[in-house]
Structure 1
Amino acid sequence: RAAGEIWLAHVKEVKTDPLKMWETLREVHVQQKPGARFNAYDVLLGLRKDEGESLVSLTARADKAMQDIRSLRPKDFTIEQLDEELASMSLIRSLPAEYNNFVSSLLLLDSLSLSKLQSAFQNEETQR
């Protein structure tokens, strides 16, 4: 019952329009931030066939991972943005464990351009 009331609080203004209800719930619950996409890319690129797992099952997991990535991208997401995020992801993933706090702070940002990341790297370097 409580979950229903919380759900209703988000969609009561648009409850007669199922499409707007869905869009409203997605805006509230799906965080389309670089950090969320970073984690989704990490899941996709980290897939490995489990022992005894069928190739069909592995394919289904890959499809699910791609579906998650697609849901985390804004509608106007471009190939150029993907290139930039992949370059940023490679830089972030290359950092050793002693940079974990720095990485966590980067992943919480609402936007993360490659130039912003490079500036953050320079600032971090001067503070160490």
Structure 2
Amino acid sequence: MDRRTTEAGLGLTTGEGRALLNVSRTGPIRQTVLAERLGVEAMTLSGLVDRLEAKGFVERQPDPADRRAKLVTLTEAGSTVVRQIEPMAAAIRSEAALGIDPDDWQRLLVSLRAARANLLAVRSDALSGEDAAA
């Protein structure tokens, strides 16, 4: 996606594009939840959101349910960029599925999501164990 967004004059990294697409789909989202969805550490996400905020694509707002937490929300400029990168993301998905039976593709996606959920659960369990040991 980097090449495509660069050619389109957007200058976004793949991670930035994925973050914008996720925030667009979910609406305001806690940074911790967004980090989990993207499969990155909280510190990595913080830098990514810093860059998106500096570009004017997102804003951080206090979470009304937990004032310690921050919600990431799209700005109007961010929504405009999302409308530009959505077709790029769709093209990448189409290219990845090229020549694969649609039913096989769907089974693959289901399997990959399950594998990711398994890994997130293991990671969460490991982190819980670290917290208990501390």
Normalising by the smaller structure, the TM-score range is under 0.3
Greater strand share, structure number: 2
Larger proportion of helix: 1
- The TM-score with structure 1 as length reference comes to 0.25
Larger CA Rg, structure 1 vs 2: 1
Structure ranking higher on relative contact order (CA contacts 8 Å, 6+ apart):
1
